[in-house]
């Protein structure tokens, strides 16, 4: 299951998140989303846990929990909505 983790500290590392979620089961991937231009964390991440029961346990336990001084939001990830690419839409079209 893919899990959305919001409101993470900008200093959080992928290893910090892996450690927090691994308490509840196997973690197969962690990806902190970063700004393309600055490389700085955008304050959210995605964690993948292959076992849905373990993932749900992690969601239930970690949602609103404190991690590095921040109250994190943890939810099942929703599919990204389709939207026009930046190349297909320009301000002149608006």
The 10s digit of each residue's pLDDT in 66-93 is 999 999 999 999 887 755 555 555 555 4
Q: Is the dihedral of CA 92, 38, 59, 49 positive or negative?
A: positive
**pLDDT single digits (tens) 9-63:** 999 999 999 999 999 999 999 999 999 999 999 999 999 999 999 999 999 999 9
Q: Check: pTM over 0.85? Answer yes or no.
A: no
∠ CA(36), CA(26), CA(79), 5° rounding? 45
Residues in the chain: 94
CB 9 within 8 A of CB 37: no
CATH of domain 2-77: 3.30.70.330
Locate the domains of the chain by residue range: 2-77
């Amino acid at each position: 299951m893919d899990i959305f983790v919001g409101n993470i500290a900008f200093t959080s590392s992928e290893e910090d998140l892996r450690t927090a979620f691994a308490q509840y089961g196997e973690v197969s991937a962690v990806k902190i989303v970063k700004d393309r231009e600055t490389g700085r964390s955008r304050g959210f991440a995605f964690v993948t846990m292959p076992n849905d029961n373990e993932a749900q346990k992690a969601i239930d336990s970690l949602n609103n929990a404190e991690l590095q001084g921040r109250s994190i939001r943890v939810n099942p990830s929703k599919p990204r909505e389709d939207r026009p690419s930046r190349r297909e839409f320009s301000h002149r079209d608006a």
